[in-house]
Every structure is written in C-alpha cells, then in structure tokens.
Amino acid sequence: MGVLNSILTALFDTVYAVLGLGPRWLSLTILSGVVGVIALIVVRFCSNQAAIGRVKDDIKANMLSLKLFKDELRVVLKAQARLVWAGLRMQYYMVPPLLVMFIPFVLVAAQMGLRYQWRPVETNEPTDLTVLLRPDVPDSALNWVLETPDGVEASPSGRGVRINADRKAVVWNLTGRKPGRHVLTLQNGTESVTKEFVVGRDQDRVSPMRPGPSLLDRILYPAERPFGSDSIIQSIAVTYPPRDSWFHGADWWVFWFLVLSIVIALLLKPVFGVKL
Amino acid sequence: MNVRVWTFRCGRLSLRCGAALLLGVLSVLTGCDRPPQAHKTSVIVLGFDGMEPGLTEKMMNEGRLPNFARLRDMGSFGPLQTVIPPQSPVAWATFATGLNPGGHGLFDFIHRDPSPPQPGPPISPYSAMARTVEDRPWYAKPFIAVLGEEIEWGDYNIPLVSARHELLRHGTPFWQYLTEAGVPAAVYRLPANFPSVHMQGVSFRALTDMGTPDLSDSVGGNFSFYSSDKDFNFRQEIGGGKAYPVQIINGMVLPERAALTGTVKTVLSATEFILPGWHALEPRIDGFAGCVAVASRGSGRGECIRAIRSLDPVTRTITLETPFDFELKPEALVKVFTPCKLYGPANTTVNAKEKPALEASWTAYVDPDQPAACIEIGGRRVVMREGEWSEWQPIEFPMAYGLTAPALLPPVPAMCRLYLRCVRPNFELYVSPINFDPFEPAITFCSPDNFSAEVAGAIGRYYTQGMPENFNALKSLVLTRDEFLQQADIVEEEREKLLDFALDHFQGGLLFFYYGGTDLVSHLFWGVRDPEHPGITDEERVKYAETVEHYYIDADVMLGRTLDWAAENAPDAVIVAISDHGFETFSRGLNVNNWLQEHGFAKMGPFRPSEPLNINWAESRAYAMGINGIYVNLAGRESRGIVKPEDKQALLDEITRELLDEVDPKTGRHIVDTVYQSDRVYSGPYVKTLAPDLQVGYARGYRASWATGLASFGDSVVEDNTNPWGADHCIATHLVPGIIVCNRPLTAQKPGLIDMAPTILRRFGITPPTTLEGRDVFE
Amino acid sequence: MAKIKIDDALYDRVKRVADTAGYASPEEFITYVIERELDKIAPDNVSDQEVMERLRGLGYIE
C-alpha cells in the first residue's frame, strides 16, 4: 500500500507539474476526460461486449414494442418486464469492469483530493498541527517537541499543548512566514518523526495527514509514509483550508469529476467502439 | 439577529433562482455593481468620531499631531458646529443628509413608540438607527399565496414571510446626488448607515459601522465570558454580554452542569453500556456530537473522560470511542456532558413554543502544566497561551438538524475572537460578540452585496459590527482597562488595513472613511483629566493619563497615510478631516425622572425604581427617556397621555425654567446649561412624531444618569458616576463642538456638520438641492 | 380565553397598582406583568426584555 501510494504520488506530482501550469478547472476537466477514456478501455476489454450488444438489442426491441403495441396491455406489460430484466442483465455485465476499476479509481480520487479538496495555507495564515497518540500511552508520551524550519513559526515553540482527556494528543498553532514545502520535525526522547507543511503555493498539493495504521486514512491521505501499527502515533495532521470553488473546490470537485468522466466516456464510446 | 433575516437570505438564494438571470441582467444594465471608476475630481473626508478641538489644537502645537498640523498649514483648522443633541447617530445623519434632525428623523440613540400595540407597556423604546421589518419580496409572493406564511417541515417552520433590517435615517444622503451625477463614491463605516442602501448608476462602495448589529442583533454586541471561578465579580445587569460557569475535569473544560447524571444499568462491553434517564437528554439529541461521558471509579475517587461515539435513544446505549481506563461496573456513576456552547439569538424556525437559542459548540483542553490551552471551535484547533488574543475564528450556527431541514435552513456563518485570560487556577475565556462573517454577509452591511468579501479577501476578516471596541466587557468588569486596550488595538490594526484598502482602491470621486477609536476610547479614558472623577482611581489617573492622546496620535498616523497617498496620486484632492463632536468628563449623572418627580412633573410607577419604563402614567405629566430627551405625556399622542395639547407649552416652559435653575447640592454648580425645545430648534417632517419635546443640554461634567435612558429611577436626583464610562458628549451642543481641518481655506464663520453635504456636492460642480440647509464652507 | 382564579385581596391590590400604573384594566396589567416575568424566565421570540437588553448594550445607558 505504502509503495503503491509513493509511486502514485510521484506520478501525480509529475502530471501536475504540467497540468498545474494551466487553470484548475482545466486540469480537473482533462483528468476527468482521461479517467473517462480509461474507463471506456476497461469496459471494452473487461466486459462481455457481445452480451452487452445483445442486451442493448433486446432493449431496443422492447422499446419498439412498447411504442407499437401501446394499446395492448399484455404486450406492454411483457415488454416492461423484459426491459427490467435487460436492465438487470446490463448491470450484471458491468460488474467485472466496475470491480477492475474500483480500487484504481479510489486511489486516483485520493490523489486528486490532495489537489482539489484543500489548499495550502497562505503566508501568515494560522493553522494547527495535531499529533494524535494511542489512547493507552503513558503521559510521558505526550512530551513531543516541535522543531520548525526557517519560514515556519509554531506556538507554543517547542513543547506543544497536551490533551490528556477524552483522547491523547499534542497541538501547536502553525504560521507559515515563507512560502514553500516545509518539513516539520517532531521529537520525543530518541524518537523523531517528520511531517510536511505547505505554505503559500496555491497550486501545490497538500497532505493534511500523515496517517497511522488505519487503512481508510492510508487510502485517503496517500502522500506521506504512514506510521506502522507498532508506533504510538495514530496520525499527525495539519488543518488546511478547503478550496473554495463550485467547480474545482472542496466536495464539488468529486461531483464534477464523476459527471465529467461519465459524460466524456459516453461521448467517446463510438470512437472506442464500446457498447454501453 | 432575527433568524428570519437569515432565512430570508437563504430563502432568497433558493427562491430567486428563476429571477437571478433577470436580476443579473438588470444589475449590469443599471451598473449597481460596477468596479471602481476613475474620476477627475477627488474629495476625501476622514471622520474622526469625538475628536475634541482643544486637545487637538494643543497636540498640534506641541508637534504631536504632525499630520493634522500639516493639513492645517495647507488650509484651515477650527471648531465644527455639531447638532442637538450632540450624539453620534444624530450628528452623522446630519453629515450624510445635510438636514437637521427634524429632516432625517434621528433625535437620540433611543426613540420611543408613544402608542405601541397592547397589551404591553404604554410606551415602547427602540433603537433609533434601524429596525427589523417583515419582508415579502415579489418573488416570494406567489409561494406565500399558495403555501401560506410558513411551511411546516418536521420540527421546523420554514418562513416565507421573512424579515429584513430597515434604516430609520430618512432624507437623501449626499452620495445619492453624487452617484446620480456619475460621481463614484466610497463610504467606509459611516455611523447610522445600516443597512447599506445600494446606489445605482456608477460605482458605489460602502461598509457600515455604528448601528450594525452582531449576530444577537445587539448594536453594541454581546460578548460571552466563561469562567470556572465561582466568585467572579461580574456586572451582568448592565447588558451587552453574559457569563457562563464552566468547570475543568481532567484538563477538559466542560459546562458547570452535566446534561445527565446517572448510574450504569448494564455494561455491554468495555465501550458500551446502558444508562437510564434519557428523557432529560432527548430534546438536545441533535447536538450530541462531541459529548463526553465522565465516569467515577466505584469509590467515587478519580474521574475519567471519554468521548461518546454514538447514542442509541431506543436502547439507551452509549458507545464510547475508547474504553475508560478502569473497568466499568454496573452502578458506576456516569455524567454525560454536552460541549460548552456559544449562544446566538432564539431560533424562531423551531416548531415549538419555547424557541431554543442558536448554538455552536466549543471545547477547551488545558495543558497539564503550561499556561496554555487548546480550544476546538468551528472545526479548528486554536492553541492559546494565557493573555493571548486569537485571530477571527469562523463558526457556523446550525439552524436545523436532521436529513432534509438543514438544506432548507442552512447554518448561519459567523465568527468570533477569543481571549484566554487564564487557565489556572481558574479557566477564563472571553469570546467577542459573534460578528457576521464578511466572507458570507448574512445581513446588508455593505454595498454592493459582495463588497465585504472583497475587502476581507484583501485584508482578512474584520469586525463587521458597529462600535467594535468592546466597551461593554470593560463596563461589566469582564475585561480590565489594559485588556480593553489590547482589544481596541486589534480593532485599530483592522482599521489601518481597511484604510490602506480604501486608498488603494480609490480612483477619484468621493472617499469617506470613519474612525471610531477616538470616541470609544475617550468615553472610557477621558475621565482621567478630572482630578475629582469618582469613577477613576489615582493609580488609573497616572497610568492612563496619555491613553486618549495615544489614539489621537493613531488618528494622526491614519491622516498622514491619506495625505501621503493623495500627494502622490491625487495632488488636487480636497481633503477634509472632521469630527462630529468633542468630549467632556462625566462625573455626575442626573436621574431626570427622579428630578421630574421631585418637581411634581412625574411619579414613579409600581415597580422597583431601576425597572425600565417605571412611570406612573396616570399621574405623570412628563417622563425622560433616551440620553437627552424629555417627553410630555401628551393626550392623543401617548397611549396614556394626560396633558392636554393646550397645556403643553406652559409645561415645557416650566420644566425648562426649573431645570436651568437646578444646582448640584454636592458641587454647587448648575447641572443644565441649555434646554432646547424641539418646536424651536428643529424643522421637518419628523419633529411632531419622533422628537423628544425637550432636549436637555447638560453642563460640563454632567449627563443624564444611567437609569434615565430606559425611563427608570435612581436612588437620588444627582449621583456620582462610578462607571468606567467616565466621559461623554451628550451635553449642551455649544460645549462640545467637533473639529474641521482641511487643505482649503474656510470662508464660513461657523462651519457646521450640516454644511458638509452641500460643500462636498459643490466640489463636484453639483448644485445642492434647496432642501439642504447648510452652505458651502469654502465659498 | 382561559380564566384563572386569584385571591380577592390580591385582586384588589392588583387593581390598585394597575390604576396607579395607568393601565386600562387589571386584566391588561396582569397580562403585561406575567409576560414580562415570563420573558425573564423563558424568552419567546424577541421579547420586551430582550429589546431592553439590546438597548442597554449601546453603552450610553444601563
């Protein structure tokens, strides 16, 4: 999982090095188009196209009979039943390509989320850093000290504010004074871990969380190496502001990504000779 | 805020979908949202509220106000005649309209309805600057006709007849003449201008100030204060804020009272147990995310806090995020807490007799040994050290819970600033009044609608309420004088950024910029000039001797920026700096209703003396209400009026005579300098309906007492003012003139606020309408 | 309209005070006083009490 995420992150960083030169709506549209085309290819090779063709013919035939014999109740009912059956068969034939696409789609969406869901903090815009620890760790495990690079200020400096109540965590306020992809270092005794922090470069991808053992967190936040199950750290998170746009901003990008990839796939299906 | 104002905004969003295109086309055609345009003539007016001519001149001569002196040397300096009474809303309304109060309809901060709907008190006070009115926009009317005034939606009523604020300042503001003549105008934070009225024709930009409420619809703003100190000395009765008791359990700040305390009935697993007694919680079930359970060990010693993952109201099962750090047994004591809350106004959309307040949760964790805490609010964590002020924290107040209702009643966007006073031995957190978020303005405090967001995009979030220096927190002893000044400095920083924005975006035409710091700081610190002031200690007199001067110097810095900008970008600009009134100490207060009673004009009502509207209406011929006003209890006007109209003038003359004769038994000085009879000093359509029959012009050092404003009584006729608000200007008009400094020679002998509108219009070659009462001060 | 019973002596006192306070009838006075007290305990919509509170927040009065 970790290796796959590293490869994907590197790949997407390269892709966005080019796409990031243009406006964000364009990169979202291009990626949606590419995903739509890949989906078409997967459907072309992973589905029983002949069977889908037959189902489509059935659908056409039954639609025709509905139109021609609309006054004959028996024929209408029969055609409707066949249409329902054809629909179910169509869904059945789409299961293999959907299964093939599901995991890659989620991984791609997670990568895109790092670029469309959140934005880097602006210079001098305050945010917070939270180290969440396992609930069973001793109190001494809360004594983390944060070292900030040049261009990042933390408050309090050094040891963070410790939460030792309904959860165990250590929190700092962070303010980026210089734009850049900074590396924060956290130390507790001999243990030392890092977390990236992006300031001021609007086009950059962010990593809101360096995840722990949780599989869901590892899928959703793929940019940084996760902590192992033996680590006392459950996650290290930076709160990044959501991107604000009704097209390529927080939450909306997922909707438009799905809509655009489906629309583009439907438009291009004759080109690829795919039956859907 | 009346939540109906917000539902109106939301409803408008959904209802106007069909009309949006049409409106968009119209707005483009009419140009009501045009970008700033260049204009060959520039007039810049800076309004420094409450700047006093004597101190200004002294500081200029000492070289402490170099930019005021620079402007004076370019043109003129002198006193500026103010209005009757010299109160800011009245004065700035005269500035805006060029009319006396009889023409613009503002006579005091507080007006009264002499004959309100019954049952109720015989008269009803209200804020004079703006009010909330019912609204039936044209696009809602068909829906109202079919569906009624509101739609019942589960636990909520979605209002179709909604509400909006209405500006009660009448008359035409001078910028309307300007924009009609094609002159762009920008009016930043003018008092008594809320809600902002959009102009059409050319670029018009406005942000409002005094009169703009916070989320609770309070013009002064309502702060919140959370303290675990049970002995905290807090003057809650003064209004403008509330204190809430909290406690700290295992480093977590929780409300003083648990929402539910009970003993565990059955333990299902390490993280699941059944707790009876749910009837106490069910009405608040929607707010449960983030609750904690606190369990005591069997012996009752030691407590452990765990977050609740889910609550099942059917089986009464609580599921925790993680197990307690000891084995939970039946009969163990468990307390369930809701998080601490910030409260907004009553949510009138809830379909219940008792409307709950809008709420937003927050939680704080106190560090085990550092003087710091982590506060979770608005989905963010803020780390604060003791004595630290936070940035603006955006927060949302949910209007509705459930699956579908939130889509129809979306949360109200707002924001607040926090001040962590201390964490140990007691946790004390001040939360500023909840301000509307300039990025999503829920009420009309700017023109055009997106202007506040444009400003916030450039300078960050800023106080959107009027009178942002939180004087009520100081008056109620929640903030110390030093803490108040820290907060005022935050406001000051925001103002400086806003001025820079205003100058950067000014391309000619009119620019008006208002600076309120000189007024509110003077109210609280000018009193140190009086060596006898009963509300100021010797220590304070020394420590804050230069505080007002410090703010005058800040005003000078802002003027300097403007002069520098103009020298570079608009060398021919007319630049005028004015103030609306001066200042005087306020060390003695006249309980006017006590005085009226003592002189046989009024009688106290049946309630405790300090109760508002405590007048015996059957036997009172006159009553005092507002800051300067005395009203005759006039038959045919007041609902319980007893004075015949033909007896009114004799009564007014009698009161005037006796007021002027009144001598303070403590000082031997006259309390009242001048008494103004409205019929004689005002003209215009609002004199008969709104004006107090008499406006009392107090002598130096005096003012109406605190109790007079709401027609209450005090303990004695004249009393010491021991309030931190130790200076004022609501006295005789000629004692507190404002200032005018400009880069053109003044020709008028006694320039006044009323002259400013015609003066500005003339600079753009516009002949002032004959209805304007003043004259051009430069010609 | 609901009716409630009160002691005769209390009613006389109410009547006397209502007259003094200038109310048209004891009923009107009772309604006003009950509403005012209820506003303090359980405010409903924008009560008179709330209006007073907001006006106090202006700073110039208490």
Q: What is the DSSP letter of A65?
A: H
Under an 8 Å CB criterion, which residues of C touch B? 17, 19-24, 28, 31-32, 35, 42-46, 48, 51-62
Closest B-chain CA to A154: B383
Burial B285-309 (b: 16+ CB within 10 A, else e): eebbeebbbbbbbeeeeeebbbbbe
> pLDDT at position B300, please?
52
Hey, which of A62-76, A223-237, B41-55 has the most confident mean pLDDT?
A: B41-55
> pLDDT at position B14, please?
43
B563 in helix, strand or coil? helix
The tokens describing B20, both together, are: 């949006």
> pLDDT at position B225, please?
95
Closest B-chain CA to A134: B322
Q: State yes or no: pLDDT of C6 exceeds 90.
A: no
- B317 has a chain A CB within 8 A of its CB: no
Mean pLDDT on B182-198 = 95
Q: What is the DSSP letter of B323?
A: -
Non-local CB neighbours of B278 within 8 Å, separated by 6+ positions: B260, B313, B316
| Interval A31-44: pLDDT, tens | 999 999 998 888 88
Gap between the Cα atoms of A163 and B383, Å rounded: 11
Q: State yes or no: pLDDT of B343 exceeds 60.
A: yes
ipTM of this complex: 0.81
Closest C-chain CA to B520: C59
| Interval B364-399: pLDDT, tens | 999 998 999 999 999 889 999 999 999 999 999 999
Average pLDDT, chain B: 90
Q: Where in chain B is the domain with CATH 3.40.720.10?
A: 41-129+168-222+434-583+729-779
> pLDDT at position B467, please?
95
Non-local CB neighbours of B697 within 8 Å, separated by 6+ positions: B84, B85, B628, B672, B673, B674, B675, B676, B731, B732, B733, B734, B735
Average pLDDT, chain A: 90
Gap between the Cα atoms of B579 and B742, Å rounded: 12
- B2 CB neighbours in chain C (<8 A) are 46
Mean pLDDT on B563-586 = 97
Gap between the Cα atoms of B729 and A45, Å rounded: 85
User: Touch between chain C and chain A (3+ CB pairs, < 8 Å)?
Assistant: no
Chains that touch B (3 or more CB pairs under 8 A): A, C
Place of tokens 């765990």: B306
CA A1 from centre of chain: 15
Pairing of strands B435-436, B76-80: unpaired
Mean pLDDT on B543-556 = 97
Banded pLDDT at B35 (limits 50, 70, 90):
low
Place of tokens 């509220």: B49
- Given an 8 Å threshold on Cβ–Cβ distance, is A239 in contact with B380? yes
Burial B383-410 (b: 16+ CB within 10 A, else e): bbbeebbbbbbbbbbbbbeeeebeebbb
Domains in chain A with CATH codes: 2-117+249-272 (no CATH), 126-238 (2.60.40)
Nearest to B443 by CA among B196, B693, B694: B196
Place of tokens 């243990």: A191
The tokens describing B758, both together, are: 């015609």
- Listed by number, the residues of chain A in 126-165 with a beta carbon closer than 8 Å to a beta carbon of chain B are 126-128, 130, 135, 139, 155-156, 159-165
Identity of the residue in B220, B346, B354 whose CB atom sits nearest the CB atom of C58: B220
> pLDDT at position C44, please?
54
Nearest to B262 by CA among B278, B246, B249: B278
How many percent of chain B have pLDDT more than 90? 69
Which amino acid would we find at residue B34? R
Q: What is the DSSP letter of A228?
A: P
Gap between the Cα atoms of B713 and B602, Å rounded: 11
Gap between the Cα atoms of B112 and B689, Å rounded: 10
Identity of the residue in B305, B383, B385 whose CB atom sits nearest the CB atom of A128: B383
Q: In what order do the strands lie in the sheet with B185-190?
A: B76-80, B738-742, B574-578, B42-48, B509-515, B185-190, B204-208, B446-447
Q: State yes or no: pLDDT of B504 exceeds 90.
A: yes
Pick among B2, B7, B109, B723 to test the C interface (most C CBs inside 10 A): B109
Non-local CB neighbours of B626 within 8 Å, separated by 6+ positions: B107, B108, B109, B110, B111, B112, B125, B692, B708, B709
Domain B260-337 has CATH 3.30.70: no
Instruction: Tell me how close the Cα of C26 comes to any Cα of chain B, in angstroms.
Output: 11
> pLDDT at position B22, please?
42
Banded pLDDT at B289 (limits 50, 70, 90):
very low
Contact indicator for B764, B180 with CB cutoff of 8 Å? no
Q: What is the DSSP letter of B437?
A: P
Banded pLDDT at B8 (limits 50, 70, 90):
very low
Phi, psi of A200, deg, nearest 5: 75, -5
Classify domain B41-129+168-222+434-583+729-779 at the CATH topology level.
Alkaline Phosphatase, subunit A (3.40.720)
Instruction: Tell me how close the Cα of B115 comes to any Cα of chain C, in angstroms.
Output: 13
Q: Give the per-residue SS3 of C15-56.
A: HHHHHHHCCCCHHHHHHHHHHHHHHHHCCCCCCHHHHHHHHH
Place of tokens 């009547």: C15
- In chain A, alpha helices (H): 2-19, 24-46, 49-68, 73-116, 215-220, 252-272
Nearest to B587 by CA among B473, B731, B710, B734: B731
Q: State yes or no: pLDDT of B443 exceeds 50.
A: yes
- C1 CB neighbours in chain B (<8 A) are none
Which amino acid would we find at residue B277? G
Contact indicator for B141, B636 with CB cutoff of 8 Å? no
Banded pLDDT at B282 (limits 50, 70, 90):
low
Non-local CB neighbours of B221 within 8 Å, separated by 6+ positions: B213, B214, B240, B432, B433, B435, B465, B467, B468, B470, B472, C57
Gap between the Cα atoms of B631 and B121, Å rounded: 16
Banded pLDDT at B280 (limits 50, 70, 90):
low
Gap between the Cα atoms of A36 and A39, Å rounded: 5
Burial B170-185 (b: 16+ CB within 10 A, else e): bbbbbbbbbbeeebbb
Phi, psi of B336, deg, nearest 5: -110, 125
Hey, which of A91-95, B25-29, B236-240, B429-433 has the most confident mean pLDDT?
A: B429-433
- Greatest CA span in chain C, whole angstroms? 44
Which of the two residues, B636 and C17, has the higher pLDDT score? B636
Gap between the Cα atoms of B461 and B380, Å rounded: 16
Gap between the Cα atoms of A165 and B671, Å rounded: 60
Banded pLDDT at C43 (limits 50, 70, 90):
low
Nearest to B676 by CA among B690, B656, B662: B656
Contact indicator for B412, B1 with CB cutoff of 8 Å? yes
Q: Where in chain B is the domain with CATH 3.30.1360?
A: 588-725
Place of tokens 């007694």: B277
In order, the DSSP letters of A159-214 are E-EEEESSSEEEEEEEEESS-EEEEEEEEETTEEEEEEEEES-TTS---SEEE-S-
Phi, psi of B373, deg, nearest 5: -145, 155
Q: State yes or no: pLDDT of B718 exceeds 90.
A: yes
Chains that touch A (3 or more CB pairs under 8 A): B
Burial label, B152 (beta-carbon count in 10 A; 0-12, 13-18, 19+): exposed
Lowest mean pLDDT among B597-611, B714-728, C42-56: C42-56
B395 in helix, strand or coil? strand
Identity of the residue in C17, C54, C62 whose CB atom sits nearest the CB atom of B218: C54
Contact indicator for A43, A53 with CB cutoff of 8 Å? no
> pLDDT at position B5, please?
63
Whether residue A156 is preceded by a cis peptide bond, meaning omega within 30 degrees of 0, is yes
CATH number of B588-725: 3.30.1360
> pLDDT at position B1, please?
57
How many percent of chain A have pLDDT more than 90? 51
> pLDDT at position B31, please?
42
- Given an 8 Å threshold on Cβ–Cβ distance, is A161 in contact with B391? no
Burial label, A276 (beta-carbon count in 10 A; 0-12, 13-18, 19+): middle
> pLDDT at position A139, please?
86
- Given an 8 Å threshold on Cβ–Cβ distance, is B627 in contact with C57? no
In order, the DSSP letters of B535-549 are T--HHHHHHTTTHHH
Instruction: Tell me how close the Cα of B427 comes to any Cα of chain C, in angstroms.
Output: 25
Banded pLDDT at C1 (limits 50, 70, 90):
confident
B767 in helix, strand or coil? coil
Which of the two residues, B700 and A124, has the higher pLDDT score? B700
Identity of the residue in C42, C46, C57 whose CB atom sits nearest the CB atom of B240: C57
Banded pLDDT at B742 (limits 50, 70, 90):
very high
